Structure 1
Amino acid sequence: MKVKGNRAALLTACRTAAEGESLSAYESEERTRGRTVRRRVETYAPPGRLPTGWPPTGRVIRVERSGTRDGRAYRREGFYLTSRADDAEALAGVIRAHWLVENRLHWCKDAVMNEDRGRVRDGAGAAILSLLRGLALSLLRHAGFASPTDAFARLANRVPELLRLLKT
């Protein structure tokens, strides 16, 4: 679970845990879409005391991302809590897998399909519309489209082709 600023006591506990010696560390670097990203993932023993109501924790994970984006340097630090006691490399893979889902599904639903601008915000209607958007993205990927934007451009005003796609 990512620890965010709205949980100040929990974030402070994670930062305090990360002041100690790390149990394991893993580094990676990648270059994509005109940017370079370096990640350093470190695991730490859980803090002695967590804020009231938090279940037992196996590891505190500190992720430092740095690199260049649009020619500008940046550095970000984030903390995660997990019940797992894996090493930093394994936990780095878990975190990357989570963000893959976030980027391939939620970002597409928001940025490409404008889900956040929808007027239906709660109840069954919102859940059904979200499900239909996810289904549409899955169908487009299954049909071989690399991106939803490419699919929308190709299928715009091509109803017979769209219907063939739905029948597969």
Structure 2
Amino acid sequence: MPVGASSRAVAGVVAAGGMLREEIWDRLARVPDPRSPRGRVYPLPCLLAVWLRALTAAGHDAACAVGQWVARASPAELPRLRLPFDPFTGRHRVPDEATLRRLLARVDRDALVATLLGDTASVSEGGLPTAVAVDGKTSRGARRADGTQAHLLGVATHGTGLLAGQVEVEAKSNETTAFPPLLAALDLTGVTVTFDAMHTVRANLDWLVTAKNAHYVAIVKANQPLLHTRLARLPWVDVLTVEVTRDHGHGRDETRTLKVATVGFLDFPTPPRLCGSSAGGVGEDRRPSRETVYLITDHPAETASPADLAAHARRHWHVENKVHYVRDVSFGEDASTLRTGNIPTNIATLRSTVINRLRRAGYRFIPPSRRDHTTPTAALDLHGFP
């Protein structure tokens, strides 16, 4: 099927919580316009749509490239972009790079996330409970005025790797304090939330269980020294191995074992299950290595088997592999020096929206999918613009 026809077919239906053709402009209009009405030429939804569709096309990762992309739109495509028509010249007006960049620096970060990522639906694959992963990412090229780097905390679905939300971690704060604001707007009832050791603090675990009715599978490391020591000292040699997996990847043969035990000596809302996961392997240099990771979860045996817990631990890294890595490699996020105002967060939101849409369209790899949508028409059809 031709690329354009394929994209039009995708745009005409609701795909896993995707936006309908008829409502996409209305959704963009919900973002508050930070500009003064006086002298305003381009409607806010129009400029946001230009950014979104230009970033879809391969090779258009910077503000200057976005300006070039819209300047190449044909007279037949410009009306679909809803650019204002100038009766004196008989042509549609086209925004320049400076206009596009200034707008993105001022748009409210949270409102843009809610508009573009708020339709992301959680998914359930392979019989696993619905699960999402929380992880942070630093935009290395985007430094604030005080010299600090912009850091984003995001949440993505397991399996599909769809980004469901993100917040910028303030310069004088850290990821732990951004954890509740990131997840507050999401319906997490019955959802399993996975995260690394930084967020394994009692306040976050209690909040997920009592306030969000969610489950957690959390990693425990030395940043929680008392808890980590108590887990390490458990008589794991007396606990039966419940899961063994073997695989080969990156020039390494690995064997993973999982042991699970329920304990009552920890004061948690529900008696937690503790997991000891050991990975041993031999690399190309034939030197053996071994690592043990401790996990803690509120899942009882009735809602998550040992195999489920092992899968949750492995799938947690989908947020890194399918979101953060893709933004760095395919969109050059770490190399980008756009840093004025809210640009680092907003452009990351737009990039993630493009990734979400391409994955929903059935693409497994992002670079070729972006090359399939280099023309304005193909990008318009992909995102469902009428």
Asked if these proteins are the same fold (TM beyond 0.5), I'd say: yes
**Paired residues of 2:243 and 2:259 also in contact (CA < 8 A):** yes
| Residue type of the alignment partner of 2:263 | P
1:80 aligns with 2:295: yes
| Residue type of the alignment partner of 2:295 | Y
**1:159–1:96 distance in 2 versus 1, CA, 3 Å:** same
Q: Which has the higher contact order (CA 8 A, sep 6+)?
A: 2
The aligned residue for residue 2 of structure 1 is: 219
The aligned residue for residue 13 of structure 1 is: 230
TM-score, structure 2 normalization: 0.35
The aligned residue for residue 159 of structure 1 is: 375
For structure 1, list consecutive stretches of 5 or more residues without a partner in the other structure: none
The aligned residue for residue 42 of structure 1 is: 259
**Paired residues of 1:13 and 1:47 also in contact (CA < 8 A):** no
Give the 3-state SS of the residue equivalent to 2:313 in structure 1.
Answer: helix
For structure 2, list consecutive stretches of 5 or more residues without a partner in the other structure: 1-217
Larger gyration radius, structure 1 or structure 2: 2
Give the 3-state SS of the residue equivalent to 1:25 in structure 2.
Answer: strand
* d(CA) in 2 for partners of 1:119, 1:140: 25
Instruction: Give the number of equivalent residue pairs.
Output: 162
Higher helix share: 1
Give the 3-state SS of the residue equivalent to 1:84 in structure 2.
Answer: coil
**Paired residues of 1:39 and 1:63 also in contact (CA < 8 A):** yes
Give the 3-state SS of the residue equivalent to 1:63 in structure 2.
Answer: strand
1:64 aligns with 2:281: no
Select 1:100's aligned residue among 311, 318, 324.
318
Give the 3-state SS of the residue equivalent to 1:17 in structure 2.
Answer: coil
* d(CA) in 2 for partners of 1:131, 1:93: 28
Higher strand share: 1
**Paired residues of 2:246 and 2:253 also in contact (CA < 8 A):** yes
The aligned residue for residue 31 of structure 1 is: 248
**Paired residues of 1:17 and 1:60 also in contact (CA < 8 A):** no
**Paired residues of 1:24 and 1:88 also in contact (CA < 8 A):** no
**1:24–1:64 distance in 2 versus 1, CA, 3 Å:** closer
Give the 3-state SS of the residue equivalent to 1:6 in structure 2.
Answer: coil
TM-score, structure 1 normalization: 0.71
**1:147–1:41 distance in 2 versus 1, CA, 3 Å:** same
1:141 aligns with 2:359: yes
The aligned residue for residue 350 of structure 2 is: 132
* d(CA) in 1 for partners of 2:234, 2:263: 6
* d(CA) in 1 for partners of 2:224, 2:231: 11
**Paired residues of 1:18 and 1:62 also in contact (CA < 8 A):** no
* d(CA) in 2 for partners of 1:18, 1:97: 28
